[in-house]
Amino acid sequence: MPKTIAEHPALADKFNQDEERVNWHDQTLWWVRAKRDKAAHTLPEWEELRNLASQIKHNVLANLSEYLIQFEENALKNGIQVHWAADAQEHNAIVKSILQKQGVSQLVKSKSMLTEECHLNEYLQQEGIEVIDTDLGERIVQLAEEPPSHIVLPCIHKKKEEIGELFHLHLGTPAGNADPDFLTAAARLHLREKFLTRKIAITGVNFAIAETGEFVVCTNEGNADMGAHLAEVHIACMGIEKLIPLRRHLGVFLRLLTRSATGQPITTYSSHFKKPRPGQEMHIVLVDNGRSRQLGRKDFRNSLKCIRCGACMNTCPVYRRSGGHSYHNAIAGPIGSILAPNLNMKDYADLPFASTLCGSCTNVCPVKIDIHDQLYKWRQVLVQEGYAPAAKKAAMQGMAFTFSHPAFYRMAGKTGKWFMKTTPFVINNNLNPWFKQRDMPEPPKESFHDWYKKNRQQNGHA
């Protein structure tokens, strides 16, 4: 296939060359997942909250055009300037035009996955504009000239020694010092100077409220607030799916977001921006960039409910062992693998296959997105459209065939069982990418179909 972008298996292989790091990565993310479980279990109403969040988001998808108009009307009343961007290019051009009007060539930016999606940093750099990312993790990957590898934990793939080295090179900290307290203090000083001197701040948006025309930004570090409150111009960039109808719906989403993300009861700061402060300019850029198209895809529209908590990544056995960069997309992991093919089927055809379909992502998702079902459905779409990666295509077509031919499925199941029992190592080859470097599990003594048939018969239903 004529592709310039390396595919997930190749990139995962690269990440897997450092086994110690992979194990560390795997265990750290699992630890974050465990913290999420603990936080979720303290709320007896957890499942009900997930249902509520999903229902609210469904109502948002069904009325998005109305909510967008309502939001715009209220935001304008509040004195916020509203911009609409059909795609990434237009988003970047809007940001640039605001900077040009101010005659400013430097800015600070807090975390915004949307600006990552639009490749805003690269674009502005080419235009001669300096962007300083102020989230510590994002600043670290920026200094390393890498993209974030996780939407909540941008430099989760980096060891502290590497960060110490980067800071030594760029911030002048002593060589060999890799103490997290020390490095964080150094970054605090370095970035404070930027907050105090930059006239423009860009932030992301976690939630925008149609009812009031305000938007909410959540951080633990306080970097979005430091940037926005000290700047003369605040530009907030958001995907159009970030809308929620009512302010009180924040009660549901803020209870779910951080418990799902890191296991904290809430982020340190949940800031509600409603009006610019006197003398300040506030802009909001509403970005489509394929979202309206995804909304029209019946099987995939639920992916627009995502609140970017990262829980599906932390729990994903593939993400944990292949690393965020193996997804070669701004948003990695299971949800990124659903969003990316909507942007470009050809470039991201490999991603829906980067999953075991174990369903763990679906189980933890706070807005109840049917993540693993959607990954499975994307595979079918991609095969039909002729974009499936070659090795996976053969396997997929085999699966599609067996699923639509019950007799063959029964035989294949039995044969497979025999095959695995007799020659467990044979399946461990390059034709079966998911079993690379993994031992096949012990096959069950009888296949599910045999077991089911027997039990049905025993119960007198056959």
User: How many whole angstroms separate alpha carbon 101 and alpha carbon 287?
Assistant: 21
- Residue 389 · residue 353 · CB < 8 Å: yes
User: How many whole angstroms separate alpha carbon 161 and alpha carbon 6?
Assistant: 28
User: How many whole angstroms separate alpha carbon 306 and alpha carbon 189?
Assistant: 34
Does residue 286 interact with ligand SF4 by CB under 6 A? no
Report the candidate in 7, 204, 18, 191 with the shortest Cα–Cα distance to residue 117: 204
Q: Which of 23, 65, 100, 384 binds other proteins (CB under 8 A)?
A: 65
Does residue 180 interact with other proteins by CB under 8 A? yes
Q: Which of 311, 316, 330, 375 binds ligand SF4 (CB under 6 A)?
A: 311
Q: Which of 94, 187, 237, 369 binds ligand SF4 (CB under 6 A)?
A: 369
Mask 243-272, x = binds ligand SF4 (CB under 6 A)? -----------------x------------
Interacting span for ligand SF4 (CB under 6 A) from 234-242, 279-287, 306-314, 429-437: 306-314
| Shortest distance, position 120 Cβ to ligand SF4, whole Å | 21
| Shortest distance, position 269 Cβ to other proteins, whole Å | 6
Does residue 351 interact with ligand SF4 by CB under 6 A? no
Q: Which of 1, 10, 76, 196 binds other proteins (CB under 8 A)?
A: 196
Q: Which of residues 374-433 bind other proteins (CB under 8 A)?
A: none
Interacting span for ligand SF4 (CB under 6 A) from 32-40, 178-186, 228-236, 302-310: 302-310
Q: Which does 301 bind (CB under 5 to 8 A by kind): other proteins, ligand SF4, none?
A: other proteins
Q: Which does 32 bind (CB under 5 to 8 A by kind): ligand SF4, other proteins, none?
A: other proteins
User: How many whole angstroms separate alpha carbon 147 and alpha carbon 297?
Assistant: 29
Residue where the block lists tokens 């829906």: 352
Q: Which does 134 bind (CB under 5 to 8 A by kind): other proteins, ligand SF4, none?
A: other proteins
User: How many whole angstroms separate alpha carbon 324 and alpha carbon 331?
Assistant: 8
Q: Is the dihedral of CA 147, 293, 214, 305 positive or negative?
A: negative
17 exposure class (CB count in 10 Å sphere: 0-12, 13-18, 19+): exposed
Q: Which does 215 bind (CB under 5 to 8 A by kind): ligand SF4, other proteins, none?
A: none
Q: Which of residues 138-177 bind other proteins (CB under 8 A)?
A: 140, 153-156, 159-160, 163
Does residue 305 interact with other proteins by CB under 8 A? no
| Shortest distance, position 234 Cβ to ligand SF4, whole Å | 25
Q: Is the dihedral of CA 315, 316, 318, 324 positive or negative?
A: negative
Question: Which ranges of 237-350 does DSSP label H, i.e. alpha helix?
Answer: 250-261, 291-296, 311-315, 317-322, 333-343
Does residue 310 interact with ligand SF4 by CB under 6 A? yes
Rg (CA), the chain: 24
User: How many whole angstroms separate alpha carbon 260 and alpha carbon 256?
Assistant: 6
Q: With CB under 6 A, what is the number of residues at the site for ligand SF4?
A: 15
Q: Which of 216, 307, 330, 351 binds ligand SF4 (CB under 6 A)?
A: 307
User: How many whole angstroms separate alpha carbon 430 and alpha carbon 432?
Assistant: 5
User: How many whole angstroms separate alpha carbon 462 and alpha carbon 444?
Assistant: 22
Residue where the block lists tokens 């060539």: 105
Residue where the block lists tokens 């509203």: 82
* Nearer to other proteins (CB atom), residue 155 or residue 237: 155
Q: Which does 277 bind (CB under 5 to 8 A by kind): other proteins, ligand SF4, none?
A: other proteins
Q: Which does 229 bind (CB under 5 to 8 A by kind): other proteins, ligand SF4, none?
A: other proteins
Q: Which of 131, 309, 316, 354 binds ligand SF4 (CB under 6 A)?
A: 309
Q: Which of 101, 248, 421, 454 binds other proteins (CB under 8 A)?
A: 248
Q: Which of 156, 295, 306, 340 binds ligand SF4 (CB under 6 A)?
A: 306
Residues 6+ apart with CB under 8 A from 104: 199, 200, 233
| Shortest distance, position 14 Cβ to ligand SF4, whole Å | 24
Q: Which of residues 83-102 bind ligand SF4 (CB under 6 A)?
A: none
CA-to-CA separations, 421 to 10, 402, 409, 415, 443, in angstroms, rounded: 29, 21, 18, 10, 7
Residues 6+ apart with CB under 8 A from 101: none
| Shortest distance, position 433 Cβ to ligand SF4, whole Å | 23
Q: Which of residues 261-300 bind other proteins (CB under 8 A)?
A: 262, 264-277, 286, 288, 291-293, 295-296, 298
| Shortest distance, position 357 Cβ to other proteins, whole Å | 25
User: How many whole angstroms separate alpha carbon 335 and alpha carbon 371?
Assistant: 7
Q: Which of residues 33-52 bind other proteins (CB under 8 A)?
A: 43-45, 48, 51-52
User: How many whole angstroms separate alpha carbon 97 and alpha carbon 81?
Assistant: 13
Residues that bind ligand SF4 (CB under 6 A): 260, 306-312, 335, 364-367, 369, 371
